[in-house]
Amino acid sequence: MSARPYRLEVLTSSPPPAPASEAKPPITLAELDGLDVTVLKGVGAKKAEKLRKNELNTVLDVITHYPRRYLDRTRQAKVDELELGEEATLLVRVLRTTTRKTRNGRPMVTSDVTDGTGHVSLTFFNQPWKANQLKEGTEVLVFGRLDEYRGKLQMSSPVVDPLGDRTGRIISVYPQSGKTGLTTKELANWAEEALRRCEPRTIADPVPEFLLSRFELVDRHQAMNGIHAPETMAASQTARDRLVFDELFRVQLALVLRKRHIESTAQGRSFDPSGEMLETLKASLGFELTKAQQRVVEEIRVDMARELPMHRLLQGDVGAGKTLVAVAAMLLAVESGHQAALMAPTEVLAEQHYLGVRELLSSITVADPTTLMGERELRVAVLTNRTTPTDRKRINAELADGSIDVIVGTHALIQDKVRFGSLGLAVVDEQHRFGVEQRAALRTKNEDGAVPDVLVMTATPIPRTAAMTVYGDLDVSVLDELPPGRTPIETSWVQTPFDEAEMWDTVRAEVAQGRQVYVVCPLIEESEKLEVSSAEDVFAQLQAVELPDLKLGLLHGRVPAADKELVMHQFRDGHLDVLVATTVIEVGVDVPNATVMVILDANRFGIAQLHQLRGRVGRGAAASKCFLQGEATTADGESRLEALVASTDGFELAEVDLELRGEGTIMGERQKGRNDLKLASLRRDKEWVQRARAAAIAVIGESEVEEFREEYPELAAEVEAMLGEEDAEFLMKG
């Protein structure tokens, strides 16, 4: 048979039927997650065990176990440029390896290696198997400290990571490869094998095309190849961008959808307050609301007027006046004929709020047709675990019949027995101490099933991009202005005994002028008992030595409630000069006459906590001082204390905190289940957070969860598969 021109054949014949395997659709991440690591070549029971120890159970885990960094062969640390004593990773070739016994009979492996600029001798004791890793001609990465021994450069027991036959210019280095018994070579090989085997089907990419082109993102399979085995450093960056986007996009989709879901399933209330009560409140204040307070109250009013339940976060620095905003919001609810609750994280704070709120609302009356005058005083009550059973019973009844307008309390408010006649607004103070579940519990408190509006207040500002990720299902209002007349707090870091003596001089001088002082005792996270005894020691020491003539009070977690109350009252009323306390005073305590804050062993506290504590002073017109005592024991500690000295702006400090600690701590409780952020960093990838947010909003548009699932089934499935249950639960229910 004569051969026909190939081109003709292509043009004339119908395309050959694709083999079955090619007909399969691209392989999804969920499918890859269903494949056990043992499907990979070279992964037997032993290796699988090691992989599992590293939480690498499936093929998806392996391909999303990304290199920690890359080594550019051409731009490596060179032996001839290293100083003695320096630690470094070297990329070397083995010249010769010998094993012998030392004088006391221990096996010793010596390997002469070179990187082209110099020779180093590697030595290992009691690890005879090293000889196998270091065969002549092998390329390895070694990490260790360069020393000199008998005139020759050497590294003693360095970490060795064999590269195998990797020839690329860029070498991917995987996390923890040394310690966990898995080498870079193995991890790279498995990832590459997995990706190669995906090749015929390619990896599914449900991200809409228009987003890929808008953000100039490469396709997913290419990105996977590019992150594991990049040809250039630039290629690894392009790959990373794509995968970072994917991670953040999934989180944002989940958050935006959750918000939609909450809005669409909840029957809220539309408030229609005349604003009269709010006017009465304003008139009773000795000051004007700040512009920021006015703006935020208006944002809240608009939200509350909508049929959908409000779900709003109020961020504001310490002392920005969040309480007043909360009270204004509660009035809007009460004026519309409903009740309001304010939930605080501690008893001290709940009681303090109760007194403050009651005071603020003392001039307000509520319409009541059953009374002679057609109105009555607005009623505020407090409920904590200390409320006696009799009172509790009465309060429960009055909450249920609606005769209490505003209730302030602790977690006691979300106990099962508490029911409301008509809870219109729940304000949750200091959100970071409450879990998501507790907020959810508040939403179910009404007999008629209506979901109350929720306002979450936090005094721990977090940077905008982090807020987008952590609180992405809430609307955010920011109080970015302090009330006028505050004098800035002057902060100093006290490191020497001399400075310390001066600090106590200042304390005595301020007290002599009629001012009051807080002394915060060292934080001992491991044990409340130790913390208490250390606080008692501090108290005794100050009373005996530094401040013998002053009136001191002591407050810590184990002071009985009644005494706590007494001490707080004495301090508030000026009968005590100095309040020695543990972090129980962290939040909410408001004594304008206190002008000095001393924090002992300040390096034990985090930035946010120090900022909170410092916020207890500087509340009046008099200039305030904050002393951070103690040496920094780490570089981070030093940066923290320096940041506090340099700035009193909570948002600025939050940025520093994020910089120093990474996002883990900020995500806190909410991070549980959000283990999808493997590459993305809220601090490095701020732009991508914003892009992902915009993309999620663009894709979801006005859709409800159901519609989104129909329109983007693969995307929805991927969000479900990749995010933890808590995040995607509502999607699965759909």
Question: Shortest distance, CB of residue 457 to ligand ADP, whole angstroms?
Answer: 7
Q: What mask of x and - would describe binding to ligand ADP in positions 428 to 467, judged by CB under 6 A? A: -------------------------------x--------
Nearer to ligand ADP, 65 or 322 (CB): 322
Asked if residue 654 binds ligand ADP (CB under 6 A), the reply is: no
Q: Are 350 and 344 in contact (CB under 8 A)?
A: yes
Structure tokens at 513: 């002028």
* Shortest separation between residue 327's beta carbon and ligand ADP, angstroms: 9
Ramachandran angles phi, psi of 423, nearest 5°: -75, 115
Q: Is 483 in the site for ligand ADP (CB under 6 A)?
A: yes
What is the three-class DSSP state of 364? coil
Q: How far apart are CA 337 and CA 422, in angstroms?
A: 8
Q: Which stretch binds ligand ADP (CB under 6 A): 66-74, 213-221, 317-325, 672-680?
A: 317-325
CB of 180 to ligand ADP, least distance (A): 46
Element of type H or E holding 595 = strand 594-599
Contact between 321 and ligand ADP by CB under 6 A: the answer reads: yes
Handedness of CA 519, 522, 526, 530 (dihedral sign): negative
d(CA 278, CA 291): 16
Q: How far is the CB of 325 from ligand ADP (least distance, A)?
A: 8
Q: Which of 316, 553, 618, 630 binds ligand ADP (CB under 6 A)?
A: 316
Query: Which residue lies nearer to ligand ADP by CB, 255 or 457?
Result: 457
Interaction between residue 689 and ligand ADP (CB under 6 A): no
Nearer to ligand ADP, 590 or 631 (CB): 590
Candidate list 172, 236, 315, 323; residue touching ligand ADP; CB under 6 A: 323
Cβ-based nearer residue to ligand ADP, 188 or 320 = 320
Site for ligand ADP in 269-298 (CB under 6 A): 287, 289-290, 293
Residue of the chain from 65, 228, 311, 322 that contacts ligand ADP (CB under 6 A): 322
CB of 425 to ligand ADP, least distance (A): 17
Report the length, in residues, of the chain. 734
Q: CA-CA distance, 404 to 420, in Å (whole number)? A: 9
Tokens for 395, please give them.
């309060």
Helix (H, G, I), strand (E, B) or coil at 159: strand
In whole angstroms, how close is the CB of 199 to ligand ADP at the nearest point? 57
Residue from 619, 640, 670, 683 in contact with ligand ADP (CB under 6 A): 619
Rounded to whole angstroms, how far apart are CA atoms 191 and 186? 9
Which residue from 495, 585, 600, 592 is spatially nearest to 542, judged by alpha carbons?
600
b/e burial code for range 594-632 (CB count within 10 A of at least 16 → b): bbbbbbbbbbbbbbbbbbbbbbbbbbbebebbbbbbbeb
Q: Give the C-alpha distances (Å, rounded to integers) separating 597 from 98, 402, 525, 613, 632.
A: 65, 42, 21, 8, 19
Kindly state the smallest distance separating residue 611's Cβ from ligand ADP, in Å: 11
Cα 190 from Cα 38, distance rounded (Å): 10
Count each helix (H run) and each strand (E run) in the chain, helices first: 28, 23
Nearer to ligand ADP, 290 or 629 (CB): 290
Q: Tell me the per-residue interface mask from 586 to 605 with ligand ADP, x by CB under 6 A, - otherwise.
A: ----x---------------
Give me the least distance between CB of 380 and ligand ADP, in Å please: 16
Q: With helix as H, strand as E and coil as C, how does 433-500 read?
A: HCCHHHHHHHCCCECCCCCCEEEEEECCCCCHHHHHHHCCCCEEEEECCCCCCCCCEEEEEECCHHHH
**What DSSP designation does 289 have?**
P
For residue 360, the minimal CB distance to ligand ADP (Å) is 8
Query: How many residues bind to ligand ADP according to rule CB under 6 A?
Result: 16
x/- letters, 109..148, toward ligand ADP (CB under 6 A): ----------------------------------------
In this complex, which beta carbon is closest to ligand ADP, that of residue 63 or of residue 357?
357
Q: Which two tokens stand for residue 117?
A: 């600029």
Candidates 324, 381, 613, 719; binder of ligand ADP (CB under 6 A) is: 324
Q: Which of 618, 604, 603 is nearest to 648 (CA)?
A: 618
Q: How far apart are CA 26 and CA 48, in angstroms?
A: 26
CB of 532 or CB of 568, closer to ligand ADP: 568
Which is closer to ligand ADP, CB of 322 or CB of 338?
Answer: 322
CB nearer ligand ADP, residue 193 or residue 347: 347
Look at the block and give the residue holding tokens 């070694």: 142
Stretch that binds ligand ADP, among 135-143, 297-305, 322-330, 394-402 (CB under 6 A): 322-330
The torsion angles phi and psi of 114, rounded to 5 degrees, stand at -145, 150
**CB of residue 289 to ligand ADP, shortest distance in Å:** 5
Task: For residue 164, give the nearest of 135, 193, 127, 191 by alpha carbon.
Answer: 135
- 382: closest CA among 409, 418, 353? 409
For ligand ADP, give the closer residue by CB, 356 or 557: 356
Q: Which is nearer to ligand ADP, 422 or 583 (CB)?
A: 583
Among 122, 310, 318, 329, the residue binding ligand ADP under the rule CB under 6 A is 318
Q: How far is the CB of 590 from ligand ADP (least distance, A)?
A: 5
Nearer to ligand ADP, 76 or 323 (CB): 323
Binding mask 184-213 for ligand ADP (x = CB under 6 A): ------------------------------
Judge contact between 556 and 535, C-beta under 8 A: yes
Under rule CB under 6 A, residue 346 binds ligand ADP: no
Show the CA angle centred on residue 143, arms to residues 140 and 146, nearest 5°: 115
Among 67, 162, 319, 650, binds ligand ADP (CB under 6 A): 319
Give me 458's structure tokens.
């936090």
Asked if residue 87 lies in contact with residue 143, where contact means CB atoms within 8 angstroms, the answer is yes
Would you say 1 or 283 has its CB closer to ligand ADP? Answer: 283
Q: State the virtual CA torsion across 541, 544, 547, 549 in degrees, nearest 10.
A: 160
Q: Which is nearer to ligand ADP, 32 or 318 (CB)?
A: 318
Q: What is the three-class DSSP state of 714?
A: helix
* Closest to ligand ADP by CB, 594 or 689: 594
By CB neighbour count within 10 A (0-12 exposed, 13-18 middle, 19+ buried), where does 242 fall? buried
Q: Which residues bind ligand ADP (CB under 6 A)?
A: 287, 289-290, 293, 316, 318-324, 459, 483, 590, 619
